[in-house]
Each structure stands twice: as structure tokens, then as C-alpha cells.
Structure 1
Amino acid sequence: MQRVVEGRWERFAGLFVVLFLAAMVSGCRQAAAPPAASGITRDFKIRGKVLATDVAAGKITLDHEAVPGFMDAMIMPYKLADPSIMSELHPGDKIVADVLVDQIDADPAGGYKNARLTDVVVVAQSKPDYKPAVQFHVPTAGDQVPNFALLNQSGKTIHLDQFKGKVVLMTFIYTRCTLADFCPRMSRNFAEIDKALQGDPATYDKTHLLSVSFDPTYDTPAVLKSYGGAYTGNYTKEKFAHWDFAAPPVKELPEMTQFFDVGVTPDGKALTHSLSTVLIGKDGKVIAWYPTNDWVPSEMVAAVKNAAA
């Protein structure tokens, strides 16, 4: 009998040792670290039909077309970056918007998260008698560009009509922008384009670059001059003969941003905004509009040269 009791204890003790060692091994393993956030925000243009609105969640369900580089055509809910516009959206409305997403890691193949819609524009209403508070215009080839007035880096008022006879490449920025893929990227791209066109004097004389700030209160001529000189690399010696940095008067800013489909929303000390780059022909009409940051300088240089030929 004593032997049986001892045998049971021996088996129990052996099992205890096995479980203890397993726990030790498991405890020594390091938990897999979550993927580090890349800090990169991507901006894609999306078009679709509103199927439902969820005021409590601040989301709309959208039946959207394929978004190159982001996802295939599908039906899915999207969070609104500004839930206050929910009252302006109705099931059946057709919209275009910017969908902002955070890149999970440095490689886009790693996927995206935190998708949210901003700069939503209703392009077809489900209710004929309903009018959104703000009507944004989507620039289309052939549109005549209004003769907007701007104050440039030299403190001089310039008008878009004065560039007729030249091909104008225009983009929208503000100097305090800290999002690397937004204003800084547009300004670096324009600097590369400006340098490339300098190598072709004939084309250089037929073209002009224009960076328009949508922050005229802060972006005074002095601020724009310093900002522009830094991007051209000539600093205080820059003459700005081929590339102007300018801003419209505060009162005329909404009209200009709405025509070029630039959504701007104050966000604390910063501005949440969309992108808009437009190629304007010698006749003052839109040739092409680029609402994202996907274009590359070499392709734009080719487009500018083709328009100037």
C-alpha cells in the first residue's frame, strides 16, 4: 500500500515539474511587438454613392468605385473627419471626397488604417431641392479659370489673366504645413520641375509656376518670400521670375478654394486640407487637374512641355 501511495506522488511530482518548466519557457518568450506606426498619411480620391448615414457613429456607408492604390470597388462604412457635415449628406447623394489613411509601416504593402473622409463634395443630389452649404467645383479640362487676384512674395498684386500666353502649373500650400506628403512634397516637386525647365530655355520662357497659399493671414509676402527662397535654393537672392508664391485676399479665399476644390478646415493651430494641382493652358483654361500627391515631377515636366509646344 505504501508503495502505491509513493508511486502516485512520484507521478504527481513529475507532472508538476513538466508544467512548471512549460510555464517558465512560455514566460521567457517575448510577446510579438505590434507594428510601429509609420507616421505617413496617404490621400486618395474616392467617388461613390451614399447608401446610409449613421449620425451617432459619425459614419456614412458608401458604394464607391475602385480607388487605385487603396482598394477595389465595394460597399463599406467610412468615418467622417468632420461629423458636422452629416446633415448635408443624404442616402442617394453621389459624392467625391478625399479619403485619408494612415500607413501602418514604411512599406505601403503593409496596409493602411484609420480611414476617414474629408473635403466631401456632393456632385449629384438625391433631393433636387437640397443644396449643400458650400458648393465645390471639380476642375475639368476646358474650364475657364477665373481671373483671381493674389498678393505675391514681393508685395505685388498679380492676376491669373496676366499669365495668358504661358502654360501655368499651380498648386496649393501653406507654409506652416508639417505633413511631409502634403505641402512640403508639393514644394519639393515644384522645385524639381523648376530646375528641370531651366535646362530648356525655350520652354522655360513659355511657362510659369505658382504656389498659392490658403493661409493669407499668416503667409504674408515676407513669409512667402522666405519660404520660396528656401525651396528654390537661392534664398535671399531669388528673383522669383519663373515661380511665384502668393495668396488671395482673405475675402476672396473661399471663392478660389471652392473653384479649385481645395478643402481647408482649421484644426487647432494647423489646417486640415486637401491637395489640388492644376495645369492651365496658354488660353487660361484647365488642361488637367491632380487632386492627389501621386504624380511625379518627371511626368509633370513632360505634360508642361507638351502643353507649351
Structure 2
Amino acid sequence: MKRAPVLLFLLCLLGSAADVTGCRKSAPAKTESSSSLKQYKVRGVIVSTDAAKGQVTVDSEAIPGFMDAMIMPYALKQPNILTELHPGDTVTATLLVSGDGSQLDEIDVLAQAKADYKPPVEYRPLNPGDPVPDFKLLNQSGKVIRISQFHGKVLLMTFIYTRCPLSDFCPRMSRNFAKLDKMLEADPVLYSKTHLLSVSFDPKYDTPAVLRSYGGAYTGNFTNETFHHWDFAAPPQAELDKMLNFFLVGVTPENDKTLTHSLSTVAITPDGKIYKWYPTNDWTPEELFADVKQLVAAR
């Protein structure tokens, strides 16, 4: 058995706040001298590739001095190297970060080698047609709900936690869902054939009472909200890791009690299978609305 070859390339996070999926602030890309850049070694395993966006999602090890282990998408300056990258490949890279901590959109390939081995661990991306397990959650009303109870409807799901401090992450997901909920409400047929579900990955803090208050604020109905079309729920602690692993959500607790995390939003078919997966925060309510129309029309 040959020793597993390693792909070496310079790699960095997307420069726009709209394209970053970990809870770190970002700034517009700017030119800096090499002396002002910090370099961090990154090692991880490719989870999935996206040729349309020219990026790879990597399950990386902890980056000493920068961030803990995390599943995140990384942009590539040369998208053509994606043909050499496959889920399960081990990659080693250099992450360039500006002196003030903002991420730069500068990527260059130093060397590459196509893997000629079978990796010991296969990482599963979310693919259309994947059946969604029947996860159990506790919703804003203190009621146990399951994924299977929404079979027969298009289920739109996103992940949040109520204390998220960055407006482009969890609050953005909730604002988008609020707009989507209004768009669906304007079409009684689509409204009756859909359900929204915001899942918290912070069940210790996000109790039913907290989720009820948070959800009512985003629907705009506050204490009058009935939650018949949009649930806010959290899985029990014992099932949390399984659910996060399936939907590829990375979560790392920080010392200030915030959570560094990635994002995951999915459209699930009426028969309980993945239809579309959005691993970043650049999706729009209009995109999910279009997904709903296609799924409803196909039945």
C-alpha cells in the first residue's frame, strides 16, 4: 500500500461576510504585504466539493492559535484543481490571515498529487435523495416532535442558536426564514404543503421558553404566535451529536460562552429525503421558495 499522498496548496476563507460559515467577523478583501500576513497550517479531510462555487468543504483539525476543529467551506482561486479533489482526500494547506484577523481571498496552488489510495474513513456529504433520520426534538411548546411527522410536506430546516452574536449568521438564517414564511403564507396552497423548522444546537440554554420567545419575535406575532407553520426546537443532548453530524454542522464552545459554528440549511422532500443543501449563508428566501414550488409541482 502506497503512503497516502498529500495535496499542498495555499488556501484561505472567503473574504465576504456573506460567504463565511464560521462565527468570525470578516472584512472586504484587501491587498497586504506578505510581512503583514499570519500563516496557519491546516490539515483535514475533504467532505465535499462544489464546482459551481469553486470551493471545498473540509473537516479540519484544530488550527493552533486560530480556531478549533471545524467543518467549513474554503474557496479556491483556481477552481480547476477541484477535479483532483475528492471526498475522503486528506489535504494540507496554508491559511493566510491578515494582521487584524480578517480573512483574505488569496489562494494559490503550490503542488498537487492525485490520490491513488482508498482513504480509511469516508466522509459523507449531504446528497439529494439521502434519507433523513427520524430525529427527535423538543419544540417551543415543550412538545416532543419528530422529523417523520412532517412527511407529506416540504420541510425547510435551518440551524441556529438564540444567543448568536453575529447578524450574518443565526439572525440572518432566522430573518430569511421569516421572509420565506411570509412568502409562503401569501400562497395558501404552498403554505398548506410546507413546514419550517429552526433547530437549535444549544439545548442547555435554548429551552422551550427561550425558543418560544425567540420564535415569536422573528414571526412578528410575539406572545400571540401559534407556531402551526414554523417550529423552533432543539434535540435532546443525547441525540445532538448525531443530528449535527448528519447535517454537517460543526460547533465549538468558546470561553465567552458563544459557539463557533458552521451553517446548514436544507430542503427536505415530502417523503423525507434531502432535496437541496445550503452549507453557507448566501442562500436567499427566493431560492428556497423556488425549491418548494418545484417539489410541490412534482407531486
> Which bracket does the TM-score occupy, shorter chain normalised?
0.5 to 0.7
CA distance in 1, matches of 2:206, 2:243: 16
Query: Residue in 2 aligned with 1:59?
Result: 42
The residue number in structure 2 matching 1:303 is 291
Deviation at 1:84, TM superposition (A): 6.4
Q: Could you say which residue in structure 2 is the equivalent of 1:281?
A: 269
Q: Sequence identity of aligned pairs in percent?
A: 54
**Residue 43 (structure 1) aligned to one of 17, 20, 39:** 20
Shift of 1:302: 1.5
Instruction: Give the RMSD, CA atoms, in angstroms.
Output: 4.0
SS at match of 1:181: coil
Match of 2:221 in 1: 234
- Offset at 1:206? 0.5
State the 1:113 CA deviation: 2.7
SS at match of 1:113: coil
CA distance in 2, matches of 1:223, 1:101: 39
Is residue 94 from structure 1 mapped to residue 81 from structure 2 by the alignment?
no
**Aligned equivalent of 1:201, options 181, 188, 208:** 188
TM-score by length of 1: 0.64
Query: Is 2:148 aligned against 1:171?
Result: no
Corresponding residue to 2:135 among 142, 148, 159: 148
Question: CA distance change for structure 1 residues 40 and 142 in 2, over 3 Å: closer, same or farther?
Answer: closer
Contact 1:43 1:101 (8 Å CA) reproduced:
no
In the alignment, structure 1 segments of 5+ residues that lack a partner are: 1-37, 46-55, 86-91, 105-110, 116-123
Q: Which one-letter code corresponds to 1:59 in the other structure?
A: V
* SS in structure 1 of the partner of residue 104 of structure 2: strand
Contact persistence 1:41–1:181 (CA under 8 A): yes
Partner SS state of residue 155, structure 1:
coil
CA distance in 1 between counterparts of 2:50 and 2:247 reads 23
Contact 2:136–2:146 (CA under 8 A) maintained in structure 1: yes
Query: How far is 1:181 from its partner?
Result: 1.1
Q: What stretches of structure 2 of length at least 5 have no aligned partner?
A: 1-14, 23-38, 71-85, 107-114
TM-score (norm 2): 0.66
Matches within 5 A, 1:1-309: 40=17, 42-43=19-20, 57-60=40-43, 80=63, 81-82=66-67, 94=89, 112-113=103-104, 128=119, 130-131=120-121, 137-268=124-255, 269-309=257-297
Residue 198 of structure 2: SS of its match in structure 1?
A: strand
Q: How many residues align?
A: 232
Structure with the bigger RCO (C-alpha within 8 Å, sep 6+) is: 2
